[in-house]
Amino acid sequence: MNIRTSGDRASGLTALAASALTACLSVHADPLVVKTADGPVRGKLINDGKVRAWQGIPYAAPPVGDLRWRPPQPAARWAELRDATHYGRHCAQNHIFEDMVFQDSASAADSGSEDCLNLNVYAPDSRKGEARLPVMVWIHGGGYTGGANSEPRHNGDFLPLKGVVLVTLNYRLGVFGFLALPELAREQGGSSGNYGLMDMVAALRWVRMNIAAFGGDPQAVTIFGESAGSFAVSTLMAAPSASGLFERAIGESGGALAVTGPLTMEELPVAGPKNAAWASSIGATTLADLRALPTERLLAAAGKERTVRFSPVVDGRFLPEAIPAVYKAGRQAQVPLLGGWNHDEGSSFAKDMTAAKWSAMAQQRLGDKAAAFLALYPGSTDAAAALSAADFGGDQFIAYGTWKWLETDRGTGNRNVYRYEFDLAAPPSKFHPGSFAFHSDDIEYVFGTLATRPEALWRAEDFKLSDQIMSYWTNFARTGDPNGADGTGGKLPQWPVYGQGDPVLHLDNPISVRSDEHRGRYEFWLLMDH
């Protein structure tokens, strides 16, 4: 018989404790293992070991089954170490934008999954215990119908090297993210829709709770996005549930303040019946019917629709009132704001335009305002008409709404607004054969991922401007002021606050500052916007 003494027991417990401590220390000694509030994750090194990456981390429960068209719910917790070295699935979507490719899929035809509420975290590979770094949370574009956090052009290989922690997220898209119905409103206390925007807020709450474990400062969060992502940034500044979840904002080509234009918000009582009629047209007369439909069936039905667009609505709860009214009253988030747009946002609108067509269009669309319009967008020759058509297209598509956002925000007291125009025409590439500063052209410059357009013959000025933009953006994330060091031992060209004289920083070769040259155009649309 083996008799264990109390000394033997104590010795055994000591050995067990030592073993557990060793295991604990070994985990914490591994800079690729991070314990989140939901469970531990293991990441990987990228960019030759310069950046740590954690990919595909769930920030909410899969919005499937009965959770389809409901606000995001908490993710299930896990105890075992979770592999976070691969992208999570991109959100279900039709293939609309040819320049969007996803690294979570081997097939360009893959429509994605509804189980897609995941995010990626990227941090510089620093193991010296420095102070927590500012955090930048990227919201991708795609008209609220496409895009994902796995697009190569916003990889996290380079931006973190400027001294930030980068987060890129997925959110529900199209019919899955923005279906608003009277029956959903009855189920959800009077409001429906905006689930994709709610996903963004859930991701920001995850960041607030978890980002310190990755080396980020939860009290220094900048949200930034392009196109629909920029619309989302302007919207989150007005959404009560997002209040206090970010300290700075950057908008690239898009603002949700224009009364007419892309992604214009309707009131729920207007949008709801339209969506209900669409649901009936595909044979779904109840929520149970809709929730029972396969993902691909809903995508196919939404893809055929030409009159209903699934996008944010003024629902009375997530968005209690119209975005312009929130800003006009000064109730938006009072945070430093940096924003602008690209020189050739409307380059596609100039195709086949002639002086005769331009004059006829002005008379038909604007009537007694045609003369004022043509003074701002002249078209006495075919060449002038083509140029004005491009300017008009860009203004209506992106520039005016973004201008109104910045203008209204500074008009209600924000003294930390910075405005830019991205002017450098990129060399031709696969999806953009001309040389333009086209819509979305800025993304690769912001992330330092020019190489993801390998067919473009990049020049020294492209790489220089990309580095300067990354420095401006990360300086802003750090202090609320884009000015300062350029990362190479020098200083960036001075970027004045958007104040007296309407100074605009032109991102070009070289960078310059000029007063707003087109204010008259935007003021014309401001009058028409009422």
DSSP calls for 4-45: --HHHHHHHHHHHHHHHHHHHHHHHH-TTEEE-SS-EEE-EE
Chain centroid to CA 238: 16
Tell me the catalytic residues.
227, 345, 439
Give the DSSP letter of residue 447: H
Query: Please, is 489 exposed, middle or buried when counting C-beta atoms within 10 Å of its C-beta (0-12, 13-18, 19+)?
Result: exposed
DSSP calls for 361-430: HHHHHHGGGHHHHHHHS--SSHHHHHHHHHHHHHIIIIIHHHHHHHHHHHHTT---EEEEEE-PPPPP-S
Going by C-beta distance under 8 Å and a sequence separation of 6 or more, which residues neighbour residue 398? 227, 253, 254, 262, 341, 342, 345, 346, 439
Query: Please, is 430 exposed, middle or buried when counting C-beta atoms within 10 Å of its C-beta (0-12, 13-18, 19+)?
Result: exposed
C-alpha 148/C-alpha 265 separation (Å) is: 22
Q: Quick one: tokens of 475?
A: 């300086």
Q: Are 259 and 269 in contact (CB under 8 A)?
A: no
| Torsion (CA) 469, 474, 476, 479 in degrees, nearest 10 | -150
Instruction: State how far the alpha carbon of 55 is from the alpha carbons of 91, 225, 311, in Å.
Output: 15, 19, 27
Give the DSSP letter of residue 451: G
Q: Quick one: tokens of 279?
A: 């649901």
C-alpha 338/C-alpha 418 separation (Å) is: 5
Three-state DSSP at 258 gives coil
Chain centroid to CA 193: 19
